[in-house]
Chain A
Amino acid sequence: MRRQIPLLITFVTGMLMIVAYFIPHHPFGGLRELFNQWAIVIAAFALILGVLNLIKVNAVKIQRKRPGWGYSAVLLIAFTVTTITGLFWGMDRVHRRARRARRDWCW
């Protein structure tokens, strides 16, 4: 079942996408947009998993003092500072300041 259920979901989703491509009428017409929205939500959760993995891999490296653990420490410190500044001051402000400084190409 571990293989069959994902295969079934993939098959049904693929068939629905094909049908939606040829039939614009409701409810098929809006399926593509709906699935795109779901994909954005899934990607957001995947990003959380990715960030957790990043923290775990580097934290373990520091804890066990593996070669190059200093780089991991720099990474985690930079990550924490970026997250805190992003959470409290927001990205809009950062982008506005960058535009004022005419350094848009940095991003």
Chain B
Amino acid sequence: MSHRVIRNLVGLFPDFGIVLFFSLFLLSNVSGQEAETSLNHPPKPPTEVSAVDTPNDAGGSITLTWTKSADDGAGENDVVGYEIFRSPRGEADYQAIATVALSKTEYVDASAEDGRFYTYRVAAKDGEFSTPSGETLPVVASAQWFNRSRINMLISAVMLSFLIIWFIEKAKKGKNLFVRPLAGLEAIEEGIGRATEMGKPVLYIPGNNDMDDIQTIASMAILSRVARTVAEYDTPLLVPSKMPVAFTMAQEVVEQAYIEAGRPDAYNPDNVRFITMAQFGYAAAVNGIMLRQRPGTVFFLGAFYAESLIMAETGASIGAIQIAGTAMPSQLPFFVVACDYTLIGEELFAASAYLSGEPRLLGSLKGQDWGKAVIMALIILGVLFESFGVHFLTNWLVSH
């Protein structure tokens, strides 16, 4: 249609231009859509689809793996995800059980029944089409009696147990097992003695975590020793607790220590008290106790977080002797600057053996130390082997 004809038609019918414009627009759009549709092909299916019983599990699980569709990240690059289909053996119909995102090549079917055979298909989906892969071989889910990925842990546990028992036997026979002097632990008696002379109480903070933390367990072992000494000196011992289970444990430990010291009458159950599970509420309460009751000695032994410096600074401001110990690397610098003595990391765990001198605890400590030495030797060997291109040790440790 020539411009002149269009101009004449527009002149005759003023609305014609608008009608013509929209007609052309719609025509071009429809033809564009047709062109797009005609270009979209079904995506290529994923390949090498395999299904295996998930290893080292309690059953009820099958793991599927596949190679991505050629149109996932390449080709037409229009795959939007994969659909997992499952069919119990003997049934023809496949049912969709899950959809996974594009680029994924693994899916764990945790809804399988043990002892029942299944076959699977994985379909690649674009916005329009879905192309299923071929069928996998039948697979059955089952539980395993041994987790083979933990063989190295079993060997380590057996080795460590052997070392511990061997050193305990040596200690029982009277062999002197050397533990280097730990200044923080040597200062416990001195701290309690000072509080006694000043007629002030001893404050013991067992940390922020509950009894599922090894640091709190170590702290309770030291609390037992501190409580026994405090009972002998007849000095009040205050133990504010943040966690409820640690609180009940602290009550038991302190009461038992007073009984063992022959001073059950001196035990005041109200001195071991629950405060709150809120971190900074607890810190505020401890600071309040410090400022009101002015303890002569403060122990911070256990796991600590951001409240460590708030409490240790308050303790320093009232002039108390402060003995801290934690295995939290981020809090150690604060304790080092604000406290008189600090037990660093492993020293906290060695404390109960060091303080009691019991053969069982000392033997256990020595056994663990040798276990750690073996692990360190393995790390050095691993680094050397890897540096010279020998990978068997690393591979074995990673795969077992």
Contacts and interface: CB of A to CB of B under 8 A. Distances in A.
B248 interface: yes
B210 interface: yes
Nearest to A79: B276
Contacts of B275: 54
A57 interface: yes
A42 B152 CA distance: 33
Interface string B278-310: 000000000010001000000000000000000
A59 B207 CA distance: 26
B261 to A, nearest CB: 16
A23 interface: yes
Given A26-B58, A30-B58, A43-B210, A49 B248 contact: yes
B248 A68 contact: no
B95 to A, nearest CB: 27
Interface string A45-63: 0110111011011001000
A106 B326 CA distance: 27
B56 interface: yes
B122 to A, nearest CB: 26
Interface string A11-51: 00000001001111110011000000001001100110111
A46 B244 contact: yes
Contacts of A43: 210, 244-245
Interface string B235-253: 0000001001101100000
Interface centre among A21, A42, A50, A60 (most CB of B within 10 A): A50
B59 A25 contact: yes
B247 A22 contact: no
B270 A21 contact: no
Given A24-B56, A24-B144, A68 B273 contact: no
Interface residues of B, number: 28
Interface string B113-135: 00000000000000000000000
A47 B277 CA distance: 9
Contacts of B154: 22
B170 to A, nearest CB: 23
A83 to B, nearest CB: 13
Interface in B144-187: 144-147, 150, 153-154, 157
A25 B270 contact: no
A64 B277 CA distance: 27
Interface in B222-271: 241, 244-245, 247-248, 270
B153 A21 contact: yes
Interface string B344-378: 00000000000000000000000000000000000
A22 B156 CA distance: 13
A19 to B, nearest CB: 11
Contact of B58 (A22, A25, A54): A25
11 contacts: A23-B146, A23-B147, A24-B57, A25-B143, A26-B59, A30-B58, A42-B245, A43-B210, A46-B248, A47-B244, A50-B241
Interface of A: 18, 21-26, 29-30, 39, 42-43, 46-47, 49-51, 53-54, 56-57, 60, 67-68, 71
Given A43-B244, A54-B274, 8 more contacts: A21-B150, A21-B153, A22-B147, A23-B145, A24-B143, A49-B244, A53-B273, A54-B276
Interface of B: 56-59, 143-147, 150, 153-154, 157, 210, 212, 241, 244-245, 247-248, 270, 273-277, 288, 292
